[in-house]
Copies of this chain bind each other. A is one copy, B any other.
Amino acid sequence: MKNYTNLLDIENLQELIEEALQLKKENSAADAGKGKTLGMLFFNPSLRTRLSTEKAAKLLGMEVMVMNADKDGWALEFEDGAVMDSNKAEHIKEAAAVLSQYCDIIAVRAFPGLEDREKDEAELVLNSFQKYASVPVVNLESATAHPLQALTDAITISELKKVKRPKVVLTWAPHPRALPQSVPNSFVDVMQRADVDLVITNPEGYDLNSKITKDTPVIHDQEEALKDADFVYVKNWSSYEDYGKILSDDRSWTFSQEKLAVTNNAKVMHCLPVRRNVVIDDTVLDCGNSVVIHQANNRTFAAQAVLRRLLIPATTQVAE
């Protein structure tokens, strides 16, 4: 593995899942990262991602340095040839090259603006780091993807499934704020590579990018979609068609015990943080079907497996 900026960087998903589950079983400090440094750069706030990735790195013996680009007001210039006489003090060319001197892996979080679809899809921040860094780059959630979350989700389903090929339903739910599509995008992406029957359900106007959903069925009737589901992944996202907009806060889409009753006693997943009684009802989150905490725990082992791959040269990986 050279980078982990999107799911295409995974050569063999099943192998990586098993590696993560093995690391979870061992749950012990290792030396693959001894003397190595992970630099985590946040252009947006983070709690779960920061803590789980930091923990994963330390479990591998790495040192971790965290930079809050959002708070420290470290305004970077990304434009080629810019005459830098305004408020941007450093060009990405130097920033990425210098961080590559101090860090063995650079991890970056940069959310979308949700105003200009083309601009968000260009993934300027993530791609610029990848272009100018001389060390591997990890995506801690970018404008359009969250591959560490997606790997976590694949691990969780692989770990908890009771049938060889479970039915997995991704359902939209209401939310008071306009949220990115990065989590559902990457979830769809990873599930398409896994041994599952994937169905997406959302209100009209909320269809995800068709280049990502491809031939995955999208059903606008939530109850119909949920029938016989083994796993339900609940998540809000803002409209892709009417880009970044909130078109509906229809509480009839809130995931409830009534919805759960339609499924095959499904495990309920969410990437967290979750708005209780808006996205998912208390009665669901507090019942045995909810696996959201279990899922959050797997963030650590997904990150650990990815970092380990990036630390160990491919030849050594094969030789193991």
- The residues of A with any CB-CB pair to B shorter than 8 Å are 28-29, 34-35, 37, 39, 45, 47-48, 51-52, 54-55, 58-59, 63, 65, 67, 71-74, 77, 81-86, 89-91, 93-95, 97-99, 101-103, 176, 272-278, 282, 285-286, 292-293, 296-297, 300
Given A29-B34, A276-B82, A296-B101, do A58 and B47 touch, yes or no (CB 8 Å)?
Answer: no
How far apart are A99's CB and chain B's nearest CB, in angstroms? 8
Residues of B within 8 A of A95 (CB): 273
A272, B93: Cα distance in complex, Å: 12
- Contacts A29-B35, A94-B272 supplied; 17 other A-B pairs, CB < 8 Å: A37-B58, A51-B99, A51-B103, A77-B276, A82-B277, A84-B277, A84-B278, A85-B176, A90-B273, A93-B276, A93-B285, A93-B286, A94-B292, A97-B293, A98-B296, A101-B296, A102-B297
How far apart are A98's CB and chain B's nearest CB, in angstroms? 5
Q: Is the CB of A51 within 8 A of B84?
A: no
Residues of B within 8 A of A65 (CB): 51, 54-55
Q: Is the CB of B58 within 8 A of A272?
A: no
How far apart are A132's CB and chain B's nearest CB, in angstroms? 10
Partner of A63, one of B35, B45, B58, B91: B58
Q: Is the CB of A277 within 8 A of B81?
A: yes
Q: How many protomers of this protein does the assembly include?
A: 3
Q: Is the CB of B83 within 8 A of A277?
A: yes
Nearest B residue to A79 via CB reads B276
Nearest B residue to A73 via CB reads B45
Residues of B within 8 A of A292 (CB): 94
Q: Is the CB of A274 within 8 A of B85?
A: no
A39, B300: Cα distance in complex, Å: 15
